[in-house]
Amino acid sequence: MFSGDAYNKSCQAGKDVSGTLIANWGEERVLREALGEGRSVPQRHIPRSGLLKDFTKTPAVYRQCDDTFGRVYGKRSTMEVEPASKTIGKHDEVATVGTAEGPLEQLMRTTRATFAEQEVAAEEDVVAQQAKVRHLDTSTATFHAKPNSLEVEKAEHCRKTCKDEINRGPPAERTQVVGSHELDVQTHAHYSNVETVTYVGLKGSSPVQSMGGPDLRGPFCEVPSLAALKVIINGHVKEALGPYGYIALRVRLAEIGDEEGFVRKAEVLKMFRDVLGLKEQEVPTLALETYLDQLATMKSCELRIGSLVASLRPSLSQADKRRALEKFAAMSVEGAAVKLEDLLGQLDDQDLKNLITKTFTGSKQGEQDQAACGKILTDQVFLDLCTDVGALTDLSALAVP
């Protein structure tokens, strides 16, 4: 019973022992009697009478079979076999790596991340502001100073080609091209409020009609408006400097500017805050600096007084321009320039006389100063003067009918 062939179903002489180990069946029975379970699934006979008649029929219950490899060698393992040379020094994947974080450490980590993001955002804002700075200085301006424009000698004998007169004829009189209300442009009205030009709209409305208003409309109403900024400054100029506020503003800017007509941007900001009473809540400093930066052309920190006043004041209507040019033609002789003293002699308002005299002569004594006797006014200068007056009051103050 204990010979080698006792554990096999069959044994052939001269060949290797092969077959099924009978002893495994005995061991399996003993394990089940002692422990209640064995190493393999017990095989039970399933009636196959139905299948004998119809071999295509599927049995209602399938016979559960065991895996011979698992019965002999045990359950298969998915662990990869590695040599000891590779496993030495390798961390244990089962063990917990690192220490657990408590609520305090999690809060501190979140706080540090938030603070770091705020610092980076602040640095990016500074970089963005630096990127917007206009650098107007060149290597030539660094080593060489610009000559004074008032000391430059102008050419006495200028050549005139008369090209425009030959191609287009003599220039038309300015009064013929002004006076039409269709050419009026409201500089203190935002362009988004202008009526859209359409074929249907042209039949019953003006193509350049403006709906008025400095504030934006529609989905972009929260965007800062340059037209609204000018309207606010215009109201403060009238309240602080009176009906001739823009002439007074020219005088004050000339007092703090240089002889070439330039004024520093910092001085303009200070005047807006101190003299005009413009508060931070009404117009932020960033908006003012952005507006003044657009007017700085020659230097990044200086701007022309004439450009600033011309940009701030409202434009003169076409009807008032025609009245002003007709008044200039009446005072001049054959279209020549008008003397300043002739204009001052027709004015009744003493304050306006003093302001005009200070504007053209820089005198602090008003009409009593005789320096105004040699000053002359061209049609463009007189038109600018009328625009300064007409921005806040009527042109009748300049004896314009």
3-state secondary structure of 210: strand
Q: Which region, left, alpha or beta, applies to residue 58 given φ > 0 means left and ψ of -120 to 50 means alpha? A: beta
pLDDT in tens, 112-126: 999 999 999 999 999
192 and 271 together in one domain = no
Is the pLDDT at 18 greater than 80, yes or no?
no
Please provide residue 154's backbone torsions phi and psi, each rounded to the nearest 5 degrees. Answer: -90, 155
Q: Please report the pLDDT score of residue 24 as a whole number.
A: 64
Q: Please report the pLDDT score of residue 112 as a whole number.
A: 94
> Residues of the chain with pLDDT > 70: what percent?
68
Tell me if 354 is assigned to some domain: yes
Tokens 């139905």 found at: 50
Instruction: In whole angstroms, give the CA distance from residue 194 to residue 186.
Output: 10
pLDDT in tens, 295-352: 988 778 889 999 999 999 988 888 888 888 888 888 887 667 888 888 888 888 888 9
Tokens 């009906």 found at: 243
327 and 346 together in one domain = yes
Closest CA to 366 of 341, 399, 393, 400: 341
3-state secondary structure of 345: helix
291 and 336 together in one domain = no
Q: Tell me which of 313, 343, 375 is where a domain ends.
A: 313
Element (H, E) at 312: helix 305-312
Tell me if 30 is assigned to some domain: yes
Tokens linked to 45: 């006979």
Q: Please report the pLDDT score of residue 279 as a whole number.
A: 92
Tell me if 246 is assigned to some domain: yes
332 and 352 together in one domain = yes
Structural domains in the chain (count): 4
Angle at the Cα of 394 from the Cα atoms of 388 and 398, rounded to 5 degrees: 70
Tell me if 301 is assigned to some domain: yes
Residues 231, 188: contact at Cβ < 8 Å?
A: yes
194 and 254 together in one domain = no
Tell me if 95 is assigned to some domain: no
Tell me if 237 is assigned to some domain: yes
Q: Tell me which of 286, 313, 340 is where a domain ends.
A: 313
Domain that holds residue 266: 224-313
pLDDT in tens, 362-385: 754 444 455 555 688 888 889 999
204 and 261 together in one domain = no
How far, rounded to the nearest angstrom, does the alpha carbon of residue 232 sit from its chain's CA centroid? 23
The one-letter amino acid code at 34 reads A
331 and 398 together in one domain = yes
Residues 306, 261: contact at Cβ < 8 Å?
A: yes
Instruction: In whole angstroms, give the CA distance from residue 291 to residue 296.
Output: 9
H runs (alpha helix) in 318-361 = 318-331, 340-345, 350-361
Banded model confidence at residue 203, pLDDT cuts 50, 70, 90: low
Instruction: In whole angstroms, give the CA distance from residue 400 to residue 394.
Output: 9
Instruction: In whole angstroms, give the CA distance from residue 61 to residue 44.
Output: 12
Instruction: In whole angstroms, give the CA distance from residue 173 to residue 269.
Output: 41
Which string of b and e fits 72-105 if b means at least 16 CB within 10 Å? Answer: eeeeeeeeeeeeeeeeeeeeeeeeeeeeeeeeee
Tell me if 65 is assigned to some domain: no
CATH code of residue 302 = 1.10.238
Instruction: In whole angstroms, give the CA distance from residue 38 to residue 131.
Output: 81
Tell me if 82 is assigned to some domain: no
271 and 329 together in one domain = no
Banded model confidence at residue 273, pLDDT cuts 50, 70, 90: very high
Q: Please report the pLDDT score of residue 17 as a whole number.
A: 47
Q: How far is CA 119 from CA 112, 113, 116, 174, in A?
A: 11, 10, 5, 60
Q: What is the average pLDDT value for the chain, to the nearest integer?
A: 77
3-state secondary structure of 338: strand
198 and 241 together in one domain = no
Instruction: In whole angstroms, give the CA distance from residue 265 to residue 142.
Output: 20
302 and 322 together in one domain = no
Is the pLDDT at 292 greater than 90, yes or no?
yes
pLDDT in tens, 118-165: 999 999 999 988 887 777 667 776 777 777 777 777 777 777 788 888
Q: Tell me which of 295, 313, 331 is where a domain ends.
A: 313
Residues 288, 346: contact at Cβ < 8 Å?
A: no
| DSSP assignment letter at 208 | T
Tokens linked to 40: 């393999």
283 and 322 together in one domain = no
Q: Please report the pLDDT score of residue 367 as a whole number.
A: 44
Please provide residue 351's backbone torsions phi and psi, each rounded to the nearest 5 degrees. Answer: -65, -40
